[in-house]
A = this chain, B = another copy of it.
């Protein structure tokens, strides 16, 4: 459930929206808009340009153009949280400014991810420069902690320092560490001060909500949006644990495969649209053995994206 509080904060479930490509590896705007509409219809917000969007395989100009297309298609910017953290400070500033001007509800910000072993002071300066250069009170930054991929962490002391320096602007975090203890610590330390903690997948959705958190931003929300959003809406009901278990079954099925190609293959399968399976290098599509294995695995758990095709054809 994506709602906005009195302070216009994004809550609930968001999907790092997978980016479709055509046979020339160009982003396919029409397919992307259709997929976004399908997600929104099921109460899932749009974390465009996330890791699972292959965002770091897209250039700055491509990301700007895609965001413009989404807004022109009248998708609601208030439900968008595009990834705007680039390796280069100047590009992070430009893309963040663009997102703010478009009216996005927030931005999900990676730390600069090329140089390793950088200090908290250096990362603080990075975020601080971006905030000052963008210079807009409506900016809401969600810090993106994903050390398994970025290899650069957003530490607890860094978060504390940023919240103190930029209260309101530093709005929350997506914790993709995969370590529940870390998410729990963030919830305990920062959520009470209005800093919204999103779990990095639905695996910890119920635990996050029970501990006062804001929701989750999850790859598998691209394929299982309705059920994940339902738990976010109804987590205080009696069947919450059962719902969580059902989500876990789907998640673990996809987690047996390379995630991004698997998501795209599932969408290709259920929409009868084979081009959806295309990924950009350095990723590769599921191979001739993995594709039927994924389809079999989905069948084995009775997983289907029942309303996808009607949505696509709409």
Query: For the complex, is A56 an interface residue (Cβ under 8 Å from B)?
Result: yes
Knowing A112-B282, A115-B283, A148-B116 touch, does A58 contact B125 (C-beta < 8 A)? no
Query: For the complex, is A269 an interface residue (Cβ under 8 Å from B)?
Result: no
Query: For the complex, is A135 an interface residue (Cβ under 8 Å from B)?
Result: no
**What is the CA–CA distance of A91 and B55 in the complex, to the nearest angstrom?**
13
**Neighbour of A282 across the interface among B56, B62, B118, B281, CB < 8 A:** B118
Contact, CB under 8 Å: B59 / A283: no
- The interface bits of chain A over 43-60 (1 if a CB of B lies within 8 angstroms of the residue's CB, else 0) are 000000001000011111
How far is the CB of A132 from the nearest CB of chain B, in Å?
Answer: 11
**What is the CA–CA distance of A119 and B281 in the complex, to the nearest angstrom?**
10
Query: For the complex, is A253 an interface residue (Cβ under 8 Å from B)?
Result: no
Query: For the complex, is A113 an interface residue (Cβ under 8 Å from B)?
Result: yes
Which residues of the partner chain B approach A25 to less than 8 Å between Cβ atoms? 89, 129
How many copies are assembled? 2
Knowing A25-B89, A116-B149, A116-B151 touch, does A122 contact B281 (C-beta < 8 A)? yes
Contact, CB under 8 Å: A62 / B87: no
Chain B CB within 10 Å, residue with most, of A51, A58, A89: A89
Contact, CB under 8 Å: B59 / A90: yes
**Neighbour of A88 across the interface among B56, B115, B149, CB < 8 A:** B56
Residues of A at the B interface (CB closer than 8 Å) are 25, 51, 56-62, 86-91, 94, 111-116, 118-119, 121-123, 125-126, 129, 148-152, 280-284
